Amino acid sequence: MSCGVLAIAEQVNGVFRKVTYEALSEGRRIADGLGCALSVAVIGSGIKSNSESLGKYGADRILVADDAVLEEYMTDAYTNVVAGIVTKEKPCVIILGASSRGRDLAARLSARLDSPLAMDCVAVRVDAGNVVVTRPMYGGKILAEIMFEGEPRIIAVRPNSMRIAESQKAGAVEIIAPDKGRTDLKFIEKKLDTGKVELTEADVVVSGGRGMGGPDYSVIEKLAGIFGGAVGASRSAVDEGWRPHSDQVGQTGKVVSPNLYIACGISGAIQHLAGMSSSKVIVAINKDSEAPIFAKADYGIAGDLFEVVPLITEEIKKIKGI
């Protein structure tokens, strides 16, 4: 059966998000499983030269919709463009990153195409021509295996879940005329802290909870900083106003799956555990040796975080030679 996998790249100011490479690599594996080709759609303005690099991650074809009005992601224009590509290319699978923009696009597209959607997938397998995905529900308390009825199947992959694999393919760039259609949304401005490492994409996350006792997170920031990692917070720290909402890890915040998660002064409420228990290695530092977090941590230190964390930072600096 002929088919085709369409990945959708996400770029901001011409730079692709890490989750784009993850989606593309997973898209390649699906295409190989189904015995079909992988195309990637790149939408934006002035993005042609950057797009060429995507062949390295397994794209057979790179479809570039380059137009000044597509410079900023707007739900309606981007949905129109992708729907136009889908009509022409008839993919059986669409794969993209479950970022803020990716989720927004996936949901609108699913309704536009009347197509099945699985959000935040953490695993995909191809089984005798069927695509089966695994996705968390109930904030990660349960993992569901999902099959799709109808095509194209839209798969939004959770950041930091899919392995990036380089496999050079033709990566032939084709400039396409985007079907922009009717639009209502108007871009006004963006305020982005581009220096900040995104929590959901970070390899290392250091979080502080109630035990921080106040808004001074400098010990946490220093430890996260030497890894190039991100700072997270528990719900109680966010509710106290010590950290912004965007830093909250947990069932009603962000779900993170870094290589290393260091929980400082966090007791380990079920909602918080749901947001970080898929991390590869978990370290907990807490004064209370009975804190529930220790039951989920690979390594625990019962002690004062303000004393222990700076010492850890110094030890790691020695190993890294910085």
Partner 1 sequence: MEVIVLLKQVPSTESFVGISENGLSVKTGDVKWVMNPYDEFAVEEALRVKEAHGGSGSVTILSVGTEKAVEAIRTALAMGADKGILINDPAAHNCDGLQTAKILAAVLKNMPFDLIVAGQRAVDGDNYAVGSAVAEFLNIPAVTMVMKEVIADGRITCNRTVEGGIVVVEAPLPALITTQRGLNEPRYASLPGIMKAKKKPLEIKSLKDIGLDTAGIGAPKTKIISLKYPPERKGGKMIAGEAAADKAIALVKALHEEAKVV
Return the residues of window 226-245 that contact partner 1 according to CB under 8 A: 238, 244-245
Distance CA 14, CA 159 (A): 19
Q: Which of residues 149-208 bind partner 1 (CB under 8 A)?
A: 149-150, 184-194, 196, 198, 200-201, 204
225 binds partner 1 (CB under 8 A): no
Q: Are 62 and 40 in contact (CB under 8 A)?
A: yes
Residue 168 CB, shortest distance to partner 1, in Å, is: 28
Q: What is the DSSP letter of 296?
A: T
69 binds partner 1 (CB under 8 A): no
15 binds partner 1 (CB under 8 A): no
295 binds partner 1 (CB under 8 A): yes
Out of 15, 143, 172, 177, the only residue in the binding site for partner 1 (CB under 8 A) is 143
- Give the residue among 98, 94, 96 at the shortest CA–CA distance from 255: 98
Give 47: exposed, middle or buried? Use CB within 10 Å, 0-12, 13-18, 19+.
Answer: buried
Instruction: Please state, as a whole number, how many other Cβ atoms lie within 10 Å of the Cβ of residue 76.
Output: 14
Cα dihedral 240, 243, 248, 252 sign = positive
299 binds partner 1 (CB under 8 A): yes
Residue 218 CB, shortest distance to partner 1, in Å, is: 17
Q: Which stretch binds partner 1 (CB under 8 A): 25-33, 35-43, 58-66, 277-285?
A: 277-285
Residues 94-133, one symbol each (x = binds partner 1 by CB under 8 A, - = not), give -----xxx-xx-xxx-xxx-xxxxxxx-----------x-
The first and second tokens of residue 131, run together, are 């695509």
Residues that bind partner 1 (rule: CB under 8 A) add up to a total of: 98
Closer of 140 and 208 to partner 1 (Cβ)? 140
Out of 3, 67, 259, 287, the only residue in the binding site for partner 1 (CB under 8 A) is 259
Any idea how long the chain is? Answer: 322
87 binds partner 1 (CB under 8 A): no
Residue 37 CB, shortest distance to partner 1, in Å, is: 24
Closer of 23 and 37 to partner 1 (Cβ)? 23
247 binds partner 1 (CB under 8 A): no
Instruction: Please state, as a whole number, how many other Cβ atoms lie within 10 Å of the Cβ of residue 127.
Output: 9
Cβ neighbours for 26, distance < 8 A, ≥ 6 positions apart: 95, 124, 155, 157, 162, 163
Residue at token pair 């010492």: 311
Distance CA 223, CA 309 (A): 7
Distance CA 191, CA 288 (A): 40
Instruction: Please state, as a whole number, how many other Cβ atoms lie within 10 Å of the Cβ of residue 5.
Output: 31
302 binds partner 1 (CB under 8 A): yes
Residue 47 CB, shortest distance to partner 1, in Å, is: 18
Distance CA 212, CA 139 (A): 25
Q: What is the DSSP letter of 139?
A: G
Out of 126, 165, 176, 260, the only residue in the binding site for partner 1 (CB under 8 A) is 260
Closer of 28 and 115 to partner 1 (Cβ)? 115
Q: Which stretch binds partner 1 (CB under 8 A): 25-33, 47-55, 57-65, 291-299?
A: 291-299
41 binds partner 1 (CB under 8 A): no
